[in-house]
Structure 1
Amino acid sequence: MKYRAEIDGLRALAVVPVILFHAGFELFSGGFVGVDVFFVISGYLITTILIEDIENKQFSIVNFYERRARRILPALFFVMLVCIPFAWMWMLPNQMKDFSQSLVAVSLFASNILFWRESGYFDAAAEEKPLLHTWSLAVEEQYYVLFPIFLILAWRFGKNRVFWMIVVMAAVSLLLSEWGWRNKATANFYLAPTRAWELFSGSIAAFIVQKQGVQRNNLLALVGLAAIIFSIFFYDETTPFPSVYALVPVIGVVMLVLYAEKATFAAKLLSMRGIVGIGLISYSAYLWHQPLFAFARIESVSEPSLLLMAILAVSSLFLAYLSWRYIETPFRNNRGVGSAKILVYSSFGLLLFASFGFVGNKQEGFALQRYDRDYLIKTDINFLRSKRYPKLGNLNLSPTWALLGDSHADSLQEAFSKMLTQHNKSALVLTEAGCPPSLNLWRHDMDYKMRCHDNYLGAIDKIKDASIQHVLISARYALYINSTRFDNTIGGIEKGRSKEVIYDLIDYKDTLRAADERAHAIENELVSYVVKLVDEGINVYILESIPEFGWNVSEQLSASLPTNIPRSAFDERVESLQSLYRRFSNIHNVTLLSTDGFFCNEIECISTVDGIPLFYDSNHLSNFGADSLLDYFESNLMKNINE
């Protein structure tokens, strides 16, 4: 295959925005489309190689996979190996357990499936996963496994028919992604069936170039380049992805592949020496940037500064050059490392990382190997966090109660279950993490829109069907009304790409609506849902806001740092909730459960008792913290629990 310098320039255009997006530079709000650019490039290059091999009767599936192993695995293995000691030193057991799982998933080329099951791509927690970015490698590897087999089997029908088969498959995949972002947004983002059309787009371009060569068209090439740049700066986390919106950068890449002949302005721009240089090291740069950013976030009390992230972004390019020069290049040389050695090294590496990850997962993140037992009981999320159950209390009885809300309600499950069991009652669990108790509120930087709506709509039906009499609601109302991450005023700001976490109405398109107007609309929506429950004859109990701390309490304890925060910071945070609480209290059959005095005195809000955390992260009650509310629940709910 003839070398095209502009393709390496495209790689640079893909990797730099991805790095800057993950670093938190809001200017590059659509930088995640760099991954889509990579997919199209991969589809184009692989299909070109396969067509040439098949037509020259040189195709060998073994040789193809060997080339892929040479290209992908050495640098990947090296980055994974470097991550392990830092994970061992800096990660809490629950983080190390998740990291161990990701080592197994990467080794099986299934990390996209793992991360789909764990969280959304734009979650704050996802940003502390050193191997999160390998989801895209998994998608490509799954394509590499299946596409060559399809191509060699379908070739008997003729090249023209194969081309149209790919066009049809691309169209089906695109339509599936359109359905997916509306119904299964996280799966749509991570999984190969809804990403395949982007790779197929590169394959389609390969067939066209193979037939008619690269055309010279300055205008179309510049339009393609502009389409990619537009999506980088004008898309953001609220843009449904992948979907028809992804056609903009994808078609942009296809136009450059087809029309950016080396004499065009776009090709000359992309072929500039510095840009091509970044393109050559782009794979290693992509591998390095996420671990650097993730470990920086793990080690920081709050979101790292943009200056630090900029330094780490530049460092990822420096490390990329070293790994490209001393790892990628030698292993891609057949004479330096023979086929037998590649097979041995690849098999050994995959087995090594999978085994280490399997053991780490089974041993709860090597908890006992890295910490003493007493320390773990006080700080480890695996011990502190409530498990999630579909039903609480006496499971043999029909439920008369329901626990409803977001992850704050989840943190109450074990404590609430104890009380129900004691009174021989049961409750349904109708919670959904990250979702305000409402039918029409959603978080703009996450893919929760339909999941939130479906959960709370379904909750009303389940409450009706089960003849539920009482509902306990716990939710992070302070986040929903304020729509900003919490700043504790003494150095702790809740982690995340942006301080802004805007919640708004599902059908409201203008995200720049004034904050007070948005807060009022959100308040109306939260009240409306409680009214719907009361209209069904339900007695509703609402737990008022518990403190947020701005920093992870367990991480602060593990580093022997302060964990408490000023009472004034809490008071300022919940001041905006007073109108909401007044409206709740004025609704018939609604009882407010105040937490004032439990976690805060006149001076500060307390996060530990006798060294044991009341919270397992920055805002969720630990089992110990939830248990501290049991007596209060008993005195305020007992008369109704016994009904």
Structure 2
Amino acid sequence: MKYFRNDINGLRAIAVLAVVIFHFQPSLLTGGFAGVDVFFVISGFLMTKIIWDKLENNTFSIRQFYLARASRIIPALSILCLVILIYGWFHLTPSNFFTLSKHSISSIFFTSNITYSNEAGYFDISANKKWLLHTWSLSVEWQFYLLFPIFIIAIKKFFEDKVKTIIFSLMFLSFILGIYWSETNPNTSYYSLYSRAWEMLFGTIAYLYPLRIENKYKRITNFFGVILIVLSFFFISKEILWPSYFTLVPVIGTYLVIISNHQSLLTNNPIFKYVGKWSYSIYLWHWPIVVFISKHPNLWIYGILSSIVIGFISYNTIEKMKLKGKALIIIILIPLSLSFLLKVHIKSIIDMRKTKPEFILGHNSIKNNQLLYIDLENDHLLNTDEINDVDFIAIGDSNLAHYAYGITKSKKTKVLIAAAGSCLPFIDYTTKPTDKWMDSKWEHRCKELHNRITEFPTKDIILAVSWAPRDTMCISKKCDHDMSQDDFYIMIENQITQLSNIVGNKRTINLIGWVPAPKNSLVECTNMQNNIDKCQGDIFTQSLPIRLKMNNELKNISNKLKNVNFINPFNSICDSQFNCKTIQDNKNLFYDAGHLSAYGSSIVWPYIEQNLQSKTNE
């Protein structure tokens, strides 16, 4: 007789709804991501029951165990990857499609947690562009499924009298490792099986060594467990390191519900009965919908409903098929082979486009008819080889570097570029690190960029950065606390004023505004199909309002300071209604959602160059 617990099925429903709500509208459920931790405990409990019971009856087959897990998980995952690959072929740029192919392969091989741990963090803004990010948890579970039966068989055979000690010891070691890694390497801690295994082992303990609860206390135990889980969804947030001691809250809550084995209305009701059954499919399909509507956050309620409806369809048409044998192999090979083949094909397209200005990043200078990439770890001289020969010292981030192509194509202005990715080159504050690459080396460079102003006391200045409001950190003795993005406007006025004071009245700071970056900068002309019919002439799309607002703020700041000259890049490619070109002469002006292509750099820079002010050359 098949083992089924309605209360556990209800837990699945609670967990998946929490995750879905968090991803679509984080402010409603700041700790909804902890639903994944609930799933981990449930998986540990159910897998332990399946393996242990069959070992006790001498009926366990590791081959059948793996096949059962594959039949349950892989078909829907493979179909998901196939659907996204087909969509990506028609709508993604070659570089983004190349990344999607790589992620699809790692998802099907259940190594995506390792792939993503080497990229941006789970809560970073860039994560919203990764169509298969959510498969990291499936990879963790699958790795657990591969190793756990071998582990159980081994300790049962060779250390049967120490099973409890070994499991508790491993759980404790994994928990401590997670705490340590969260402090020293948050990405690894979040994605790794080794720092997550303790949660699944908590489920193992719930099955093998549960606390014995009298019937009269089961109801209150169930209720208290649910309360702990729900509280974690509301009071935990992404600002808390995860996993951490706080992870014990949803984990212990799940443990209590499982050991109580009580069928309450909280976990066993008609709605949760169905949502729990569809939970795997809902989880699979919800994240691509999140990515799809990411530019339209007001559609979040439709996103949630769509996730449930598609999850229902996926459960009834794919999960119920229970594919085995050749059918299972075929359903794996189709998206896998497609990912490999298209990855190779896209690589050739990317290589072919590397010489075309409309397809490469503006971070490329021209020297002796050769393209030289402008990295952000070093300073670069443009249009000269002599540091004392430069007209301007330019400090900033990647929004400065993307003018390199235009500067060297123009050949009129000699510039020293000193930039660091996502850096605010101010005296007291800079960007608070959010990505793995923003390490101590990055921090050191970012902190010292403003020193170029005093190192070259006779040179005029260019300041160009991404002016996106963000959290900033204190980097000098003049401040004593970090600042949130709510105070961003106050902070930049204060810091630009300080730079103005340092520069004095014999030099000028040329303050370059935020580039337009139209809402639909990644237009059809850059996608896989390169549909020329849609790319004739010039194409305009409306700019993002936040960029207009920020440039107005920068203009107001410059009006207060006599030695600051504001230059608005909008004027180079936008009309009076702020409709901005994204395509000019059939060529893309933007490389991505925030940076100019080399071609765009050659169009925008001449306007900036024409409006540069220099007191030292007067």
TM-score higher than 0.5 here?
Answer: yes
Matching residue's letter, 2:443: Y
Cα offset, 1:202, TM superposition: 2.1
Cα offset, 1:623, TM superposition: 1.6
Separation in 1, partners of 2:138, 2:60: 23
Cα offset, 1:431, TM superposition: 2.5
Matching residue's letter, 1:503: D
Are 1:261 and 2:256 matched, yes or no?
no
544, 553, 564: which one aligns with 1:576:
553
- TM-score when normalising by structure 2: 0.77
346, 354, 361: which one aligns with 1:364:
346
Q: 1:509 to 1:166 in 2, by over 3 A?
A: farther
270, 289, 296: which one aligns with 1:303:
296
User: Aligned residues: percent identity?
Assistant: 27
Q: Which runs of 5+ in 2 are unaligned?
A: 365-372, 475-479, 527-533
| Equivalent residue, structure 1, for 2:309 | 318
| Equivalent residue, structure 2, for 1:43 | 44
352, 356, 362: which one aligns with 2:334:
352
Q: RMSD of aligned C-alpha atoms?
A: 4.6
| Equivalent residue, structure 2, for 1:488 | none
Which deviations, in whole Å up to 9, do the C-alpha atoms of 1:3-34 show, x marking residues without a partner? 22111100000111212222236312322221
Q: Counterpart of 2:133 in 1: which secondary structure? A: coil
Separation in 2, partners of 1:527, 1:289: 46
> Structure 2 matches for 1:223-622, cutoff 5 A?
223-258=224-259, 260-262=260-262, 265=264, 268-297=265-294, 302-306=295-299, 309-331=300-322, 337=324, 341=325, 344-364=326-346, 380=359, 389=375, 390-391=377-378, 405-412=396-403, 430-432=420-422, 447-448=434-435, 451=438, 455-460=442-447, 473-477=463-467, 479-480=468-469, 503-505=471-473, 515=486, 519-521=489-491, 523-524=493-494, 543-555=511-523, 563-565=540-542, 572-578=549-555, 581=558, 595=569, 597-599=571-573, 604=578, 606-607=580-581, 608-622=583-597
Asked if structure 1 preserves the Cα contact closer than 8 Å seen for 2:381 and 2:416, the reply is yes
Q: 1:429 to 1:206 in 2, by over 3 A?
A: farther
Q: 1:70 to 1:533 in 2, by over 3 A?
A: farther
Cα offset, 1:377, TM superposition: 5.6
Q: Counterpart of 1:563 in 2: which secondary structure? A: strand
Which deviations, in whole Å up to 9, do the C-alpha atoms of 1:297-328 show, x marking residues without a partner? 4xxxx42532xx43343233233233323332
Asked if structure 1 preserves the Cα contact closer than 8 Å seen for 2:463 and 2:511, the reply is yes
Asked if structure 2 preserves the Cα contact closer than 8 Å seen for 1:393 and 1:419, the reply is no
Cα offset, 1:177, TM superposition: 3.1
Q: 1:148 to 1:436 in 2, by over 3 A?
A: farther
Separation in 1, partners of 2:235, 2:559: 40
Separation in 2, partners of 1:567, 1:86: 25
Matching residue's letter, 1:352: I
Matching residue's letter, 2:138: L
| Equivalent residue, structure 1, for 2:367 | none
Q: 1:557 to 1:9 in 2, by over 3 A?
A: same
Cα offset, 1:629, TM superposition: 5.9
Matching residue's letter, 2:340: F
- TM-score when normalising by structure 1: 0.74
Separation in 1, partners of 2:545, 2:306: 40
Cα offset, 1:524, TM superposition: 4.2
| Equivalent residue, structure 2, for 1:497 | none
Q: Counterpart of 2:238 in 1: which secondary structure? A: coil
Q: 1:413 to 1:549 in 2, by over 3 A?
A: closer
Which deviations, in whole Å up to 9, do the C-alpha atoms of 1:553-606 show, x marking residues without a partner? 2327666695354799865432323465578876xxx99777575445656464
Q: Counterpart of 1:85 in 2: which secondary structure? A: helix
Asked if structure 1 preserves the Cα contact closer than 8 Å seen for 2:409 and 2:602, the reply is no
Q: 1:102 to 1:185 in 2, by over 3 A?
A: same
Cα offset, 1:72, TM superposition: 0.8
Q: 1:526 to 1:634 in 2, by over 3 A?
A: closer
Separation in 1, partners of 2:167, 2:303: 40
Aligned length: 579
